[in-house]
Amino acid sequence: MSIELRNITKRFPGYTALDNISLSVATGELIALLGPSGCGKTTLLRIIAGLETADTGSIILENRDTTNLPARSKNVGFVFQHYALFRRLNVFDNVAFGLTVKPAAERPSKQEIADRVMHLLKLVQMEWAAKRYPSQLSGGQRQRIALARALAVNPKVLLLDEPFSALDAKVRQELRRWLRKLHDDIRVTSIFVTHDQEEALELADRIVVINKGKIEQEGTPQEVYDHPANSFVYNFLGNVNVFHGRVRNGKVVLGQRLPEEHSELNGHEVKTGQAFIRPHDIGISRIRNGNDHPGIIRDIRLTGSQITLELESAGFDRPIEAEISRESWRNLELTKGDEVFITLDKVRVFTGDFEI
């Protein structure tokens, strides 16, 4: 294990930022800490870097307990949300900084430093900018310099704090793919923090979903997306329809059929919970099969390659959003106001203590 966090707890006046977090990261892995703002993910990253101290718990980097090591001796690379480049130093000196501040005994020669800096600038495709100042670069370019600067000292781990969130959508996507490729090349153990589920899904080997200072779920992007462990993860990752649902004798009861059956429920165990289904897991047809719910199309929206339908169905307090391909939209010849049948077989219900 390259990074191991054991029982990290951090309290601030009035709230608990991290509540007994334990996490292992394998060498060369790229991990995403995903969660809403204020969930504690940045605090966790800063604790690993030594910029904050945990109240309890320990941090082991490459089999060495670094919990009480000062930040400057931890040898981690940190990339900040707002780049944090040294504004008075040019790009070359920024990248060289970590090497030039080494104690004289460990400091490489001037020529070695220059070679290393130019190598890193080439790696981030910025060698043309060596003499520029940070203010002369765009956000995306600055963040690449920040990455080169963090890599200059050969860090054991690379920590990235919402590295792309200050950039516009297109640059963000470009940089995301570029970082993934870079990581595949250099394979430095990395943890990045994000509140953008798309970013986490696309970039990470493994996602750790955090909420209110606790780990809700960890797993590969596919595991987390396809098998959310609880209602929070379901809600946070991707679009989802949420209904009030009931579970009776292990069966999910949804929508208008509930009142009909209600009289028979007496004496049986009934639990209420939240029912979740992703828009693209909803089936739409012209003919009713088995459990389908009748509904009316209220709105049709084009969202890129998909068609989003807004459906109204008796017994559901909120409109249902369904996503279908353009092809099936054309085949079904759907228009506003049409009556259709909605298949909700893939729905999942989370009650207090169990799920179906």
- What is the x/- site pattern for another protein, positions 125-144, by CB under 8 A? --------x-xx--------
Stretch that binds another protein, among 110-118, 149-157, 324-332, 333-341 (CB under 8 A): 149-157
- Is 150 a binding residue for another protein by CB under 8 A? The answer is yes
Instruction: Rank residues 151 and 334 by Cβ distance to another protein and give the closer one.
Output: 151
Give the DSSP per-residue string, 277-322. Answer: E-GGG-EEESS--TT-EEEEEEEEEEETTEEEEEEE-TT-SSPEEE
Does the protein bind another protein through residue 178 (CB under 8 A)? no
Distance, in Å, from the CA atom of 274 to the CA atom of 233, rounded to the nearest integer, reads 13
C-beta closer to another protein: residue 67 or 75: 75
Return the residues of window 34-63 that contact another protein according to CB under 8 A.
49-51
- Cα separation, 338 vs 236, in Å, equals 31
Instruction: Find, among 55, 39, 44, the residue nearest to 3 by Cα.
Output: 44
The residue with tokens 């693209």 is: 280
Any alpha helices (H) in the chain, and if so which ranges? 41-49, 91-100, 110-123, 139-151, 169-186, 197-203, 221-226, 231-236, 257-262, 326-332
Question: Which residue number, 97 or 329, has a Cβ lying nearer to another protein?
Answer: 97
- Give Cβ neighbours of residue 225 (< 8 Å, ≥ 6 apart): 201, 237, 238
Nearer to another protein, 106 or 353 (CB): 106
Contacting range for another protein; rule: CB under 8 A; set: 150-158, 184-192, 222-230, 335-343: 150-158
Structural tokens at position 1 = 């294990």
| Contact call for residue 74 and another protein (CB under 8 A) | yes
Among 8, 30, 47, 77, binds another protein (CB under 8 A): 77
- Residue 186 found at the interface with another protein (CB under 8 A): no
The interface with another protein within residues 195-234 (CB under 8 A) comprises none
Size of the site for another protein (CB under 8 A): 31
Candidates 117, 120, 137, 140; CA nearest to 129 is 137
Q: What are phi and psi of 304, to 5 degrees?
A: 60, -120
Beta bridge partners of residue 191, listed in sequence order: 31, 159
Site for another protein contains 23 (CB under 8 A): no
Does position 98 interact with another protein (CB under 8 A)? The reply is yes
- Interface with another protein, residue 258, by CB under 8 A: no
How many Cβ atoms are within 10 Å of 116's Cβ, its own excluded?
A: 20
165 lines the binding site for another protein (CB under 8 A): no
What is the binding site for another protein (CB under 8 A)? 49-51, 71-78, 80, 82, 84-89, 97-98, 101-102, 133, 135-136, 146, 149-150, 152-153
